[in-house]
């Protein structure tokens, strides 16, 4: 038996966000109601709670809602392998720069690298939450 559909207040409570946030994400197309009730209330699939959590994690890492929406609505990217190759190359270049950097530059590179690490960790969390390929 499939999970029952949830009203906006139930989604908000389970996702630990306000109903305004659910409303806003719906208006942006980040989440979509599965149906409407007889009283015309929006009803959401329970999986929306996980999607909201993912959106919040990305927002916490500074990813703009417009970028999140574009990524969620885009067709599957064939450019991911190329992007990962560029990241590898950039990391190699960063290691070389860090090896010759002065103390002030080293601190700046450390801050930037920490930010990049946080974003990569968020990406790995999202990848780990994906269902296995069929």
Cα(11)–Cα(26) distance, rounded to whole angstroms?
A: 12
Domain boundaries, the chain: 6-73, 80-129
What's the pLDDT at 2? 52
What's the pLDDT at 129? 65
What's the pLDDT at 1? 38
Q: Mind listing the pLDDT tens digit of every residue in the chain (134 residues)?
A: 356 999 999 999 999 999 999 999 999 999 999 999 889 999 999 999 999 998 998 888 888 999 888 887 776 666 778 888 998 999 899 888 888 988 888 888 888 888 888 888 888 877 776 655 54
For the domain made up of 6-73, give the CATH fold.
Answer: Multidrug-efflux Transporter Regulator; Chain: A; Domain 2 (1.10.1660)
What's the pLDDT at 81? 82
């Amino acid at each position: 038996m499939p999970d029952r559909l949830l009203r906006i207040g139930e989604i908000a409570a389970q996702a630990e966000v306000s109903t305004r946030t659910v409303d806003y994400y719906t208006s942006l197309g980040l989440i979509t109601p599965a149906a409407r009730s007889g009283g015309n209330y929006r009803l959401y699939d329970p999986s929306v709670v996980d999607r909201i959590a993912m959106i919040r994690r990305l927002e916490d890492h500074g990813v703009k809602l417009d970028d999140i929406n574009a990524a969620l609505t885009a067709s599957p990217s064939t450019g991911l392998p190329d992007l990962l190759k560029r990241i590898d190359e950039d990391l190699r270049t960063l290691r070389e720069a860090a090896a010759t950097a002065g103390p002030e530059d080293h601190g700046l590179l450390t801050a930037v690298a920490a930010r990049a690490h946080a974003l990569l960790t968020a990406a790995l969390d999202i990848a780990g939450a994906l269902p296995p390929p069929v």
